[in-house]
Amino acid sequence: MPESKNNTPFTSQASQAPPASNAALWLPYTQMATTPPVPVAIATQGVRIRLADGRELIDGISSWWTACHGYNHPHIRQAVAGQLNVMPHVMFGGLVHEPAAKLAQRLAALLPGDLAHVFFTDSGSVAVEVALKMARQYWMNKGEPSRQRIIHFRHSYHGDTFATMAVCDPEEGMHAQFSASMPQEIMAELPVDEKSQTAFEECLAQHAHEVAAVIIEPLVQGAGGMQMHDAATLAQVAAACQRHGVLLIADEIMTGFGRTGHLFACEEAGVVPDIICLSKALTGGTLALAATVARRHVFAAFLSDDPACALMHGPTFMANPLACAAANASLDLFAQEPRLQQVAMIAEQMEQELAPCRQLAGVQDVRVKGAIGVVEMQGAINLSAYRTQFASRGVWIRPFGQVIYLMPPFVISAADLSVLTTAVVAVVNTLGVNGQAG
Q: Angle at CA 370, nearest 5°, toward 396 and 60?
A: 5
The answer for residues whose C-beta is within 8 angstroms of residue 255's C-beta and 6 or more apart is 217, 218, 219, 220, 222, 264, 265
Residues 295, 272: Cα–Cα separation, whole Å: 9
Cα 370 to its chain centre, rounded Å, is: 14
Contact between 376 and 364 (Cβ < 8 Å): yes
- Strand 220-221 to strand 247-251: parallel, antiparallel, or no bridges (unpaired)? unpaired
- Cα separation of 121 and 275, whole Å? 14
Exposure letters 161-180 (e unless 16+ CB within 10 A, then b): eebbbbbbbeebbebeeeee
Beta strands in 162-263 (DSSP E): 186-188, 211-216, 220-221, 227-228, 247-251
CA distance 337 to 333: 5
Sequence letter at residue 181: S
Please list the active-site residues.
Answer: 29, 157, 251, 280
Burial 202-215 (b: 16+ CB within 10 A, else e): ebbeebbeebbbbb
For residue 38, what are the CA distances in angstroms to 223, 230, 391, 393, 424?
22, 38, 11, 16, 21
